Structure 1
Amino acid sequence: MPMPHDPHWPPNLPRRLTLPETSLFYNAEVSARRFPHKPFLLYYGEPLSFARFHDEATRLAGYLQHDCGVKAGDRVLLYLQNSPQWMLGYYAILRANAVVVPVNPMNMSEELAHYVADSGARVALVAQDLLPQALPHHRTHGATGEAAIDHLVVATYSDYLGQPEGLRLPDFVTDPRRVSQGAGLHAWHDALAAHRAPGPHTAGPDDLCVMPYTSGTTGHPKGCMHTHRSVMCTAVGGMHWFARTQDDVMLSVLPLFHVTGMTGGMNGPLLVGASVVLMSRWDRETAAELMQRHGVTSWQAIATMVVDFLANPRIDEVDLSALNGIRGGGAAMPEAVAAKLKALTGLDYVEGYGMSETMAATHINPPHRPKPQCLGIPVFGVDARILDPVTLQEVPQGETGEVVVHAPQVMQGYWRNDKATAEAFIDIDGQRFLRTGDLARVDEDGYFFMTDRLKRMINASGYKVWPAEVEALMYAHPAIHEVCVIGAQDDKRGETVKAVVVLKPEHRGQVSEQDIVAWAREHMAAYKSPRLVSFVESLPKSGTGKIMWRELQERQAEADAGASSLSPGA
């Protein structure tokens, strides 16, 4: 059936792609055979060839099986900053026929507990800078009961550093290796030195591959069950959509635990044999130097990175002539910033849309005809519709409704959560569609534009923050009687997290708003911890006693609008 976006489809590309009937790990094997000596990774200038990558991932897989007891289908936590070990660990877990559970390295020990308990993981790959957060969950170092980790394989980032001259590196990257001692603790370099050979690779396209966790209104993160087929789908699709080849050099600085960075900054490049310039943490000057040194052709970024990059006073001196594509998503790119980027590079910022539940993009703008602040058009094999969220009937073109998608990259469901899975899907004409919870409209050209959210969520610098999860963590503070978390306008982050708090009577006058802010920063990831705290006597409630968060959110929106109208130049 003809679609409105058909005339704007990228030239010479089919509407559907035939997906490989292999495991994701097979891509590492193929690229190692095709391009053995070519750098897959350039970690602050230090190369790691495709052949070495495949060899070390295979050896680590053998160690996981023989020394840590990992069996087919086991979940293994991956808890590191962006690094060669993150990528090696991911593919080692797959080679061991197991399932990757990527964990945000910003998560603190209290947050990590849920991943351990819910996934049932008994083995974790962890970086030495994060070991203090992981140890309380290890069986011989504090944890008790069934929800405990038996084995921690500890990585040191500096093991993969050469002599990065003239680059500004984070301290955690340059820290020397510290000996990890104790039962169940294994040093990464010892695991590789053991030269364990793994058993047969048996995982196929329909076996579980990776379980990124996403949160929701319940406050508890849920594991999105993705197979090798669904992960392969976006890896293959992304490379075709942007016409990437083995001679591309891609800057990978988005978090790898997030599906966007995972797909565009690792799985896709490994599939086609492209080189990846890898950074552990964003730094605009280091990024500019690496782009110049290595001739980066493709950069995947979020709006806040681009804003910071363009604010570099020496940006006009940087040679960006090799750069031929910039893309991203997560939050809309301001038109003024996109215009400044185009003036500097001659390139459009190409936006896309996806979720953890869809292993990154279901919609991307056509590179040859992007629209600003737009989700794009449905990509290969994606059936996307706009429904009335109440009647579940399709709405006319131009009207707002909920985005639902049927596509090969959609997850199987939520791990051990049949209720949430049932609520996430609907049946249309015998096909299973995912309810995204995002409200959008479609223009006359078939392009999708976000208008609002059906789900309660805060978008802070592209990170999704789920208020119920933050509230659940904040109730651990001894002075908090009740709390409601909402979003507030922020010039740099777009939105930021605000907590409206009712203190227990005995703590009033004894605890300040800043005390709550400081406590939250110590007990949860920085991106989700409230930057703003407001004390109130009581929270608005419905007749059934439920906190009326929407009323507080609307009040905040009015206050933000008033502040904007009073600001200079408004």
Structure 2
Amino acid sequence: MDRPHYKFWPSRLPRAITVPATSLWHNLATAAARYPDKVALVFFGRETSYRELAAQVDRLAAALHAMGVRRGDRVVLDMQNCPQLVIAHFAILRANAVVVPVNPMNRAEELKHYIVDPDAKVAITTGDLAAELAKASNALEPAQRLSHLIVTQFTDAFDADISGDEAPAPAWRDWLLTRHPLPVLADGHVVHWVDALATTDVPPEHSVGANDMALLPYTSGTTGMPKGCIHHHSSLMHNAVASQLWGAGSSEMVVLAVVPMFHITGVVSMMHTAILCAATLVVMPRWDREVAGRLISTRKVTSWTNIPTMVIDLMGSPNFATFDLSSLSYIGGGGAAMPQAVAQRLFEQYGLRYQEGYGLTETAAPSHANPHDNPKQQCLGIPYMSSDSRVVDPDTLQEMPIGESGEIITCGPEVFQGYWKRPEATAAAFVEFDGRRFFRTGDMGRMDEDGYFFITDRLKRMINASGFKVWPAEVELLMFKNPAIQEACIIATKDAYRGESVKAVVVLRATHKDTTAQQIIDWCRENMAVYKIPRQVQFVDALPKSGAGKVMWRLLQEAEAG
């Protein structure tokens, strides 16, 4: 029987697609062969053609191979958006290895896990982050340390004297223009990016295909440290091809690349889809509304994947009326609901329908999307190409009636293989339903009579701060390393701009009763990514606990909400 959403399926699109048997690197090689002189990357005015991009990828792949990187090895990639990230990502794939994308906001204490867990021996980073990555490696046991660290400076990819509409924001100049000294890597070698790309070695034969691992992004959960999600070339390829078709992507597309390309959405829906299309990526290293407005206007951007807070911020610029958004034909994203008033203003002023979607690290970004001709606001959309989703009772796993809330489960070729080194977590993440293997998203939702999905609640304990997922258990584990903290419980607090922010409820040790909230926040800033840092700290004498001794975080969360 047809699922109800097929009544609204775009007539020009197939319901399912055949996934190419080739690796993701072949998409770049094909684009470079077909469009060698076309602009692939733009970074503060400097253009890189597809021919140049492919050549740099080949040279870096040869350098990685010379460092001992072999088929299936995991290589850490720790960068903000820049051309070097795209080059490094595809070079790792070209060398038959696996990309381990890391959030550049992570600090040394967090970075240790991303070296040890995937057994990484090589990492690629930028000068501003290199010291932190070296610090993490140097603190490990000798057998666990990195053997090579490749370091690039931002000015390896653009001209420092750039001015005009494509110049960096003034506040970025010190960050981007400073050429940082290379750190010392215990038991290892630090290599400058320029030297790595100067190699005359030949890259290895490219031997991986659809069923080999390509990406190991990490996601946290309700307990323990972040878990690696095993994605083959095929799962990412499916969503890249599907995104091209769904968004009517072509080689004439100009993409504003500001969503982080260490995040699954930036990796798949933006970078891999653009390279598959042989489109142009206009790269921003982080968000700034004035820079974004000027780049959309100057570069005639046609496609902008984002999070709603970016759109809200851009529209709040005092210079908004001077920006020319008329080139945009696609604008959309996820991570948080787009306020209805903002979506309506976009439609009335520019005729743009904000395309909301839904997906997880485990589903290679979109598992659901709104059809262009029939979108619904504040809605996840309908199941993506080749995919099926249901709403079930989280305890009995029986399918829920239309309109009633339950856990969203999803099945499709974009779903990951499982968690790296975590067979128990993998087993718990999947369920057999209608004779097929469905992934349990942990999100509570409902399906309306048209087959569109809506989020209603979270089954998992998680905080959504401007689209960044904060897992309380991970933050608590880090906070327990503070000598002043006896116990800590992380909960969400409402935030007018971010949607939610992090709050810590803390019990201090008897020996540290004079510790202030600001001291706790400052310590967190030194030891964890900025989006995880508590914005508020509340001191209590004791945390509420169950008879079994477990902290009853829901009581604290309900009190905060009340």
| TM-score, structure 1 as length reference | 0.95
3-state SS of the aligned residue for 2:144?
coil
Q: In 2, Cα distance between the equivalents of 1:391 and 1:380?
A: 28
Alignment of 1:334-349 (within 5 A): 334-349=339-354
Structure 2 gap ranges (5+): none
2:533 alignment partner in structure 1: 529
Could you tell me how far apart the structure 1 residues matched to 2:194 and 2:436 are?
48
Alpha-carbon contact 2:359-2:366 (below 8 Å) kept: yes
Q: CA RMSD in A?
A: 1.2
Distance in 2 between residues matched to 1:493 and 1:551, nearest whole Å: 23
1:246-298 C-alpha deviation (Å, 9 max, x unpaired): 00101010010101011122100000111111100111111111111110001
Matched, 1:516 2:514: no
Q: Deviations over 1:190-232 (max 9, x none)?
A: 0111132111000110000001000011131000000000010
> Whole-Å Cα distance in 2 between the matches of residues 28 and 202 of structure 1?
16
Rounded Cα–Cα distance in structure 1 between residues aligned with 2:290 and 2:120? 38
Task: Give yes or no for contact 1:153–1:186 (8 Å, CA) kept in 2.
Answer: yes
Task: Supply the distance in 1 between the matched residues of 2:431 and 2:139 (Cα, whole angstroms).
Answer: 43
| Residue 77 (1) aligns with residue 76 (2) | yes
**1: CA distance, partners of 2:206 / 2:83:** 22
Give the equivalent residue in structure 2 for 1:562.
none
SS at match of 1:485: strand
Shift of 1:179: 5.3
- Pairs within 5 Å for 1:336-485: 336-485=341-490
Q: Which residue of 2 aligns with 1:148?
A: 145
Gaps of 5+ in 1: 559-570
Contact 1:219–1:467 under 8 Å retained in 2: no
Q: Give 3-state SS (helix, strand or coil) of 1:129's partner.
A: helix
Corresponding residue number in structure 1 for 2:549: 545
| Percent identity over paired residues | 49
Once the two structures are TM-superposed, the CA of residue 429 in structure 1 deviates from its matched residue by 3.0
Displaced runs of 4 or more, over 4 A: 177-183
Q: Is the 8 A contact 2:465 2:501 kept in 1?
A: yes
Structure 1 residue aligned with 2:158 = 161
Which amino acid is the alignment partner of residue 405 of structure 1? Answer: T
Residue identity matched to 1:402: E
Q: CA deviation at 1:48?
A: 0.7
Which residue does 1:561 correspond to in 2?
Answer: none
Local SS of the residue matching 2:420: coil
Q: Aligned partner of 2:78: which letter?
A: Y
| Offset of residue 368 of structure 1 | 1.3
Letter in 1 for 2:177: T
Partner of 1:102: 101
Instruction: Tell me, in whole angstroms, the C-alpha distance in 2 between the residues paired with 1:444 and 1:430.
Output: 24
- Map residues 270-309 of structure 1 onto 2, 5 A cutoff: 270-309=275-314
1:10-59 CA-to-partner distances (Å, cap 9, x unmatched) read: 23101001111100000010000000000111112211111111110111
Q: Secondary structure at the match of 1:18?
A: coil
Q: Which residue of 2 aligns with 1:253?
A: 258
1:180 to partner: Cα distance: 5.9
Deviations 1:409-447 (A, max 9, x none): 000000001011011011123311100000000111110
Describe how 1:51-90 pairs up with structure 2 within 5 A. Answer: 51-66=51-66, 68-90=67-89
Q: Check whether the contact 1:25–1:95 (CA below 8 A) recurs between aligned residues.
A: yes
Q: Write out aligned runs for 1:153-302 (5 A).
A: 153-162=150-159, 163-166=161-164, 167-169=167-169, 170=172, 171-176=174-179, 178=181, 183-302=188-307
Contact 1:61–1:96 (CA<8 Å) still a contact in 2? yes
SS in 1 for 2:271: helix
Cα distance in 2, alignment partners of residues 526 and 538 from structure 1: 27
8 Å contact kept, 2:109–2:136: no
TM-fit CA distance, 1:339: 2.0
Q: Deviations over 1:309-352 (max 9, x none)?
A: 00111111111111111010000011122223333322111100
**3-state SS in 1 of match to 2:451:** coil
Kept after mapping to 1: 8 A contact 2:446/2:453: yes
Q: Which amino acid aligns with 1:381?
A: S
Q: What residue is the counterpart of 2:49 in the other structure?
A: 49
2:405–2:456 contact (8 Å) kept in structure 1: yes
Shift of 1:181: 6.6
Aligned equivalent of 2:510: 505
Secondary structure, counterpart of 2:61 in structure 1: helix
- Is the Cα–Cα contact under 8 Å of residues 180 and 187 in structure 1 kept in the other structure? no
Provide the secondary structure at the position in 2 that maps to 1:385: strand
Q: Distance in 2 between matches of 1:148 and 1:214?
A: 22
2:29 match: 29
Distance 1:297 1:553, change over 3 A: same
